[in-house]
Amino acid sequence: MNFFLNPEIPMPTRNIKLTISYDGGSYHGWQVQPDRITVQEVIENAILQITGEPSRLASAGRTDTGVHAIGQVASLKTNSTIPAERFRPAIQSQLPDDVVIRDSCEVPDDFHAGYAARWKLYRYLILNSEIPHPHLNRFTTRIAAKLDATKMNQAAQSLVGEHDFRSFESHYPNKATSVRHVKYCSVQQGTSWSAWQPSIEGNPILDNNLSIISLDIVANGFLYNMVRAITGTLLKIGSGDWPVDAAKRVLEAMDRKQAGPTAPPQGLYLMHVEYERDFDTVEFL
């Protein structure tokens, strides 16, 4: 919305930061698109209902179709007099259940959810199971073949640091530069999805522990499909199709054709966006 083009609309005087969670399964990504429902569109429509102002949200990341968020961040310019903390319940009252405003607060006028972001954490969840679990279909990617998470983690370490990641970028080039700084990259394996694992006083009822493999990656920015291409490459290594040093060779090749396939979207989550901390002293889980 360009306020300069309409003199009847006063310049916005406040800047509101929103922290947002959503199930991306029903949406064509974050960014507004013609004739397709997106997360940004439903939130902007909700804001219009409560403020009477057309608004355009600035976001920390443009998640793709089917990708989820736990800690997406957006900033909103407004003239509304609603107290900052009341934006959360007010907007929520106009939203579907699969989009949730977790927090709202006032920030300086020059804050921009995208430009001010220093680091972002994405997580990719893999259900490594021969047996499907219908409750997890929308929230993990199932791989039936046994994966070696230790080898995947070893390979992931070659991606840490500042590199040209064009080998992991779909439709290169999309940005002015494909150089990014990966602060942390780790693959871990767990044995349960505790939210619904049946138990009595902590003792499992069924002997069917899950194998959940998670990739956590922190970087100062991400290229188009970068995390999903990295995941596809690590899956090749975890399945034994490629050796551990393949990730390093793919990175150095600077050729998308050398990397693994783009992993499906439903296992990917934007977990957190950091605006101040440099992560030098943070111990990642």
Do 264 and 125 belong together in one domain? Answer: yes
Do 131 and 217 belong together in one domain? Answer: yes
Nearest 10 degrees: Cα torsion 126, 129, 130, 133: -90
CA 50 → CA 75, 87, 105, distances in Å?
A: 16, 9, 16
DSSP assignment of 31-63: S-BTTB--HHHHHHHHHHHHHSS----EES---
CA 150 → CA 121, 197, 254, distances in Å?
A: 21, 24, 25
Do 84 and 188 belong together in one domain? Answer: no
Convert the pLDDT of each residue in 78-103 to its tens digit. 999 999 999 999 999 999 999 999 99
In-domain check, residue 283: no
In-domain check, residue 186: yes
CA 152 → CA 52, 142, 158, 246, distances in Å?
A: 50, 16, 11, 10
Domain region containing 138: 119-274
Q: Mean pLDDT across the stretch 158-186?
A: 93
Query: What pLDDT score was predicted for residue 277?
Result: 67
Decide: helix, strand or coil at residue 75.
strand
The answer to whether 258 touches 249, Cβ cutoff 8 Å, is yes
Convert the pLDDT of each residue in 99-134 to its tens digit. 999 999 999 999 999 999 999 999 999 999 998 988
Euclidean distance between the first and final Cα of the chain, in Å?
Answer: 40
At which of 72, 106, 140 does a domain end? 106
**What CATH number is attached to the domain comprising 141?**
3.30.70.660
From the list 55, 74, 64, the residue with the least C-alpha distance to 27 is 64
Convert the pLDDT of each residue in 202-244 to its tens digit. 665 555 667 899 999 999 999 999 999 999 999 999 999 999 9
At which of 106, 137, 162 does a domain end? 106
Q: How many CB atoms lie within 10 A of CB 278?
A: 10
Q: How many CB atoms lie within 10 A of CB 214?
A: 18
Catalytic residue numbers read 64
Decide: helix, strand or coil at residue 226.
helix
Query: What pLDDT score was predicted for residue 1?
Result: 44
Question: How far apart, in whole angstroms, are the C-alpha atoms of residue 85 and residue 284?
Answer: 30
Domain count of the fold of the chain: 2
In-domain check, residue 284: no
Query: What pLDDT score was predicted for residue 207?
Result: 53
**What CATH number is attached to the domain comprising 35?**
3.30.70.580
Question: How far apart, in whole angstroms, are the C-alpha atoms of residue 238 and residue 152?
Answer: 5
Instruction: Tell me which residue has tokens 């920015």.
Output: 221
Is the pLDDT at 48 greater than 50? The verdict is yes
More reliable by pLDDT, 276 or 36: 36
